[in-house]
Structure 1
């Protein structure tokens, strides 16, 4: 795929092809390609590589050539940005190969709410559970995040 896309976009620098192939290989290791059409990830890799090597193409042009939507390519760019590889410099990315895999994107999305729920549970743990005595004053942000059943019990206390 990649060679054909590079030719259709008219890139002069062949390093764009090499770098984008390396990016796609890294995306595969980070589970970004799993269950997805490869052209979307190729588009994201080509966009990144073209910007690095100063042969920038518009995202709409790349989307047209790889037969993907701009929003899908943007989603892949967001998923790439969440990986450890995104924090490397260009020379570091080219020179080093990160041996660890990232979790699949779906696992990352599911873990965020779980962490938030566990934080809320720890905030609202009863004093007997945590060994504390006395009531805790809640900030407006904590109060807004309280589970609905706690809010209903507060409303029933006003009767």
Structure 2
């Protein structure tokens, strides 16, 4: 057994606070993120269309689009929860990979080509083009109701 020199709140009951270097690293991280956002806000301030904002004018290569999709797919809850799931259920958690692969393959072959060819960004735009505004509004309301019901059951 090794001798630990650091303190954990759950082991000692003492509060552990940020030190100076923690604040420096945290500040640099926030500063870099804010400066990147500010740079692109100033650089692209003349671009006002929805297509340019959501899809970058459809001029991006595969790599940044893949990174964007991956970062939106993997949430903070996933990053925090996966180690706990692996600890609790052992390697059975890896079976979720099969579901992910199936969903990626189906999305890549069914949904993305349709959305790309129609020049739309969401299912609701597709419903609007296919069925009209009233059906789109009804679908949005039903989706929100379902999400609230699911959230209530999960909490």
TM-score by length of 2: 0.20
The structure showing larger relative contact order (alpha-carbon pairs under 8 Å, at least 6 residues apart) is 1
Give the structure with the larger helix fraction.
Answer: 2
TM-score by length of 1: 0.20
Largest Rg, 1 or 2: 1
